[in-house]
Amino acid sequence: MARIEVDMNYCKGCGLCVDVCPQDIMQLNSEIMTQKGYHPATCVDQDACTGCTSCALMCPDVAITIER
């Protein structure tokens, strides 16, 4: 079990992490808007995260930190 933290300051809501996640636990949160006006990505089920770091590898804005 790993913990994903998305930094709202960097995230631009491009959705690449959502597409690449093998566990389908990343989603764009339409209820939040970042300072730049994007819907940021969030992890909806931290328990299901395997820590594969695929989302972080694909994140163009280096917004994702993953800890185990």
Binding residues for another protein (CB under 8 A): 2-3, 5, 7, 9-10, 12-16, 19-20, 36, 38, 51-54, 56-62, 64-68
Residue 56: CB atoms within 10 Å: 17
Is residue 15 within 8 A of residue 27, CB to CB? The reply is no
Is residue 10 within 8 A of residue 63, CB to CB? The reply is yes
Smaller CB separation from another protein, 13 or 25: 13
Smaller CB separation from another protein, 12 or 27: 12
Smaller CB separation from another protein, 16 or 27: 16
